Structure 1
Amino acid sequence: MTIDLVLSSLNKRLEKEKNLTIQRENGEILNVTCNWNSPVTDQQLTEFSSKTNHILPNDFCSFLKICNGGKLYTDGVDYFELFNLKGIHNYLNEYDININYKSAYDKSWYMIGYYKGYGDYLFIDSEKVANGDNDYLIYVQVGDIQRLSMNFETWLDRFIVAQGARYWIW
């Protein structure tokens, strides 16, 4: 499995249908789409790591080089947004000045996305990435921090298979 294959398969479905009709929990039927940002360059990835001292995992870099973030499974109201490099950098700048972030999240973490409408946040633990660990994702929901036993590639593949559902809390 590769990020490229996962995204190209989803994009083929979107090209054919424009919107996807999906079924979520409790029989909810939605028409959704995905909106992708323009990709980043290797130089931008290197500059990000140099400026922030945070290591980006290879699979997440592959994602950013295909699409620099985007909104997944959006119905116009709810969606999961994976941040672009600027959004991740903005979070890191906020961390330095926001006392609430400092008291809630470890400095080695950086936020890569959130689920609008649910209050869920997805983080990467840069320290785990630096140590070569592949289980570096962290899920945060109000009052609950859960380390996910997976990397970004696995998370994204399962998220797409689950049609944008929060499968990690099932």
Structure 2
Amino acid sequence: MHHAGLETLRQLQSRLTNGQLEVQGAEGYIEVESFTFNPGATPEELARLPKETPKEIVHFLKVHNGARLYFTPDDGGGFELFTIGDILTYIPIWECPPGFIPIGAGPDGEWLVCESISEDDNRIWTGEFLTYEDPDFERLPFSFLRWLDYLIVAQGTMYWDWFR
């Protein structure tokens, strides 16, 4: 099981001061951004997840049942990683087909959905979309933990848009 994303997350947490970090963005932009991590989910909560939820997501939720990453005090932004309650709430709202698990939202409300391909393979989808056939709804070549690992390395930027 590849847990690089969680190791990167632990390193990030070790660098925070009162839940904050000074982040260097593009074009010389520097901002103090905030992070909050919920305590881990209980076994009872984890048992409520759809059975096809990827093991990487279950593992993350065991450590943190939801988190907010790279929020700025003034204008929000940042990424919200859903709690189990949020996941169950958004499955019908986002009309997720079987095997698709809503995992969070991006800075402008972009959907973050994880597709479970097999027991050991999953992919992140993202975009502002209404249907899963929408061309703006994009399947990224990253599993959940790899996506999270790269998000932290890219300091909360939507790195998947860099070379468009």
Q: How does 1:119-130 map to 2 (within 5 A)?
A: 119-126=109-116, 128=117
User: Which residue number corresponds to residue 84 of structure 1?
Assistant: 83
Root-mean-square deviation (CA), in Å? 2.1
Mapped partners of 2:35, 2:48: distance in 1: 27
Mapped partners of 1:149, 1:4: distance in 2: 18
Greater helix content: 1
Q: Is the 8 A contact 2:66 2:80 kept in 1?
A: yes
Residues 57, 29 of structure 1: CA spacing in aligned structure 2 closer, same or farther, 3 A cutoff?
same
The percent of aligned pairs where both chains have the same amino acid is 30
Residue ranges of structure 2 left out of the alignment (5+ in a row) = 130-134
Q: Is the 8 A contact 1:135 1:151 kept in 2?
A: yes
- Post-superposition offset of 1:149: 1.1
Are positions 1:40 and 2:58 aligned together?
no
> For 2:121, what is the secondary structure of its paired residue?
coil
- Length-normalised TM-score, structure 2: 0.82
> For 1:48, what is the secondary structure of its paired residue?
coil
Aligned residues: 153
Deviations 1:28-62 (A, max 9, x none): 2110121011210233212322xxxx521111111
Structure with higher RCO (Cα < 8 A, 6+ apart)? 2
> For 2:137, what is the secondary structure of its paired residue?
strand
Are positions 1:134 and 2:121 aligned together?
yes
- Post-superposition offset of 1:145: 1.1
Q: Is the 8 A contact 2:54 2:122 kept in 1?
A: no
> For 1:112, what is the secondary structure of its paired residue?
strand
Amino acid at match of 1:125: E
Mapped partners of 1:135, 1:89: distance in 2: 19
Q: How does 1:15-54 map to 2 (within 5 A)?
A: 15=17, 18-49=19-50, 54=51
Amino acid at match of 2:65: N
User: Which residue number corresponds to residue 132 of structure 2?
Assistant: none
Mapped partners of 1:67, 1:12: distance in 2: 15
Are positions 1:57 and 2:68 aligned together?
no
- Length-normalised TM-score, structure 1: 0.79
Q: Is the 8 A contact 1:134 1:150 kept in 2?
A: no
Residue of structure 2 aligned with 1:6, choices 5, 8, 28 = 8
